[in-house]
């Protein structure tokens, strides 16, 4: 009889990773990054109207949601190593 | 013209698809259909100024919505023509239907300002306008005055109305909805984006148009009212402090019922064509059967 290898139990604190190994956002953390993107974009665009367009607006959100958590994870990892 | 309403209506169309089309209509089709009318016509409305010389339309509202002019970009006629051309080229039902619905949403929403759209082109070149708020794009005022007028008038209510429609259908913005309804209908496009973006970026990309709509509505409103102190005027065809642009038009009282009838007709036609288009798409996708014998 051929047995499939045992599937390891996920660790309770293991991050929820996607197909690229990047962390998924959920709950309050997701809200935080979307709000951070909105507040920063609105604040800057009130004074710099050229930012208010179809390309910069969507790009801003995608950039903040990708880069923000990545930087945060790096800083946290760096803090733990010290 | 409408501002953030055009961003919100993309999600409103997506959330209110006929039952048989749910999860099968391309979100990018709706997005591009809604985007096309202004993409083709608006760059020249405000124009650009280089070394003190202005390059742009001499009569912005006529260029944008009139005939002769680019008013044809805001008609169901061109929307159907472009969707039909795409169908003949690719036989892609999801995109074709999404594109037509998005295009129709844009053209029909824009009947609300004082210029309106040449709705029945090519049968008539008269504009159809409910005249809810003033069309205010001018060479002198440019984009800033246009935005100030829009966000001081019932145009703001239009944005808020479409925002409310999306918020009532808030599930359209959730991760589950994106996974189960949006991605399957556009699997190849999302797979292409997935070569560059993690999942949280893909989800943000899906929500980005909504995000942009909310942010531009808040940003322009804050600028117009807290910084520049333009007065609100929520009266019909307001605001009072700007001259509403207009073109020869039909009686405004018949515009709303005809627009709603055209919206219904668009959905009816799309619904009737849905199955035949699906069969044609399958025939094209099916590999040639090996010769018998």
The confidence score (pLDDT) of residue A16 equals 86
d(CA B61, CA B69): 9
d(CA B125, CA B118): 6
Q: Which residue has the tokens 């199955």?
A: B275
Mean predicted confidence (pLDDT) in A35-57 = 97
The confidence score (pLDDT) of residue A20 equals 86
Task: Give residues 120 to 159 of B whose Cβ lies within 8 Å of A.
Answer: 143-144
Neighbours of B285 (CB within 10 A): 9
Buried residues in A65-78 as b, exposed as e (16+ CB within 10 A): bbebbeeeeeeeee
d(CA B27, CA B196): 19
User: Cis bond leading into B122, ω under 30°?
Assistant: yes
Mean predicted confidence (pLDDT) in A9-33 = 84
For residue B50, the surrounding DSSP H or E stretch is: strand B48-50
Judging contacts by C-beta atoms under 8 Å, the chain B residues touching residue A66 are 197-198, 200-201, 204
The confidence score (pLDDT) of residue B285 equals 85
Q: Cβ separation of A69 and B218 shorter than 8 Å?
A: no
For residue B176, the surrounding DSSP H or E stretch is: helix B175-177
The confidence score (pLDDT) of residue A11 equals 63
pLDDT of chain B, 293 residues: tens digit per residue: 789 999 999 999 999 999 999 999 999 999 999 999 999 999 899 999 899 899 999 999 999 999 999 999 999 999 999 999 999 999 999 999 999 999 999 999 999 999 999 999 999 999 999 999 999 999 989 999 999 999 999 999 999 999 999 999 999 999 999 999 999 999 999 999 999 999 999 999 999 999 999 999 999 999 999 999 999 999 999 999 999 999 999 999 999 999 999 999 999 999 999 999 999 999 988 766 555 44
pTM of the complete model beyond 0.90: yes
Cα B203 to Cα A31, B23, B70, B95: the distances in Å are 13, 16, 34, 20
Nearest-CA distance from B136 to chain A in Å? 18
Question: Using 50, 70 and 90 to split pLDDT, how confident is the model at A9?
Answer: low
Neighbours of B177 (CB within 10 A): 18
The confidence score (pLDDT) of residue A13 equals 67
Q: Cβ separation of B219 and A65 shorter than 8 Å?
A: no
Neighbours of B250 (CB within 10 A): 16
d(CA B165, CA B286): 40
Q: Cβ separation of B200 and A25 shorter than 8 Å?
A: yes
Phi, psi angle pair for B198, to nearest 5°? -75, 175
Which tokens belong to B243?
């001259």
Mean predicted confidence (pLDDT) in A7-20 = 72
A8 pLDDT more than 90: no
Q: Does the complex come out with an ipTM higher than 0.95?
A: no
Which tokens belong to B193?
């984006």
Judging contacts by C-beta atoms under 8 Å, the chain B residues touching residue A34 are 204, 207, 211
DSSP B134-146: -B---TTTHHHHH
Mean pLDDT over the full length of chain A: 87
Q: Cβ separation of A69 and B216 shorter than 8 Å?
A: no
Phi, psi angle pair for B128, to nearest 5°? -115, 115
């Amino acid at each position: 009889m051929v047995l499939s290898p045992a599937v390891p139990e996920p660790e309770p604190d293991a991050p929820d990773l996607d197909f690229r190994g990047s962390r998924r956002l959920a709950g309050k953390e997701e809200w935080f990054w979307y709000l951070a993107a909105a507040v920063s974009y609105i604040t800057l665009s009130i004074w710099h109207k050229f930012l208010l367009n179809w390309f910069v607006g969507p790009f801003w959100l995608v950039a903040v949601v990708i880069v923000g958590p990545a930087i945060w994870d790096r800083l946290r990892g760096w803090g733990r190593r010290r | 013209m409408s501002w953030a309403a055009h961003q919100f209506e993309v999600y409103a169309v997506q959330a209110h698809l006929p039952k048989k089309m749910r999860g099968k209509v391309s979100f990018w089709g709706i997005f591009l259909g809604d985007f096309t009318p202004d993409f083709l016509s608006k760059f020249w409305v405000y124009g650009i100024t280089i070394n003190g010389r202005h390059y742009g339309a001499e009569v912005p509202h006529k260029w944008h919505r009139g005939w002769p002019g680019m008013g044809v970009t805001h008609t169901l006629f061109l929307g159907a023509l472009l969707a039909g051309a795409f169908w003949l080229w690719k036989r892609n039902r999801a995109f074709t239907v999404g594109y037509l619905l998005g295009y129709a949403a844009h053209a029909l929403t824009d009947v609300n300002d004082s210029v309106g759209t040449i709705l029945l082109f090519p049968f008539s070149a008269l504009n159809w306008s409910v005249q809810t708020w003033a069309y205010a794009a001018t060479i002198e005022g440019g984009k800033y005055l246009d935005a100030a007028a829009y966000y001081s008038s019932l145009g703001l209510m239009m944005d808020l109305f479409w925002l409310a429609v999306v918020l009532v259908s808030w599930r359209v913005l959730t991760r589950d909805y994106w996974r189960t309804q949006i991605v399957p209908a556009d699997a190849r496009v999302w797979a292409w984006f997935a070569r560059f973006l993690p999942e949280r970026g893909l989800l943000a990309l899906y929500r980005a148009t909504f995000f942009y709509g909310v942010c531009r509505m808040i940003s322009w409103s804050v600028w117009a009212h807290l910084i520049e102190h333009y007065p609100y005027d929520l009266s019909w065809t307001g605001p009072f402090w700007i001259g509403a642009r207009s073109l020869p038009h039909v009686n405004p009282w018949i515009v709303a019922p005809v627009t709603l009838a055209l919206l219904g007709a668009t959905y009816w036609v799309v619904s009737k064509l849905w199955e035949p288009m699906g069969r044609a798409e399958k025939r094209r996708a099916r590999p040639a059967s090996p010769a018998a014998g």
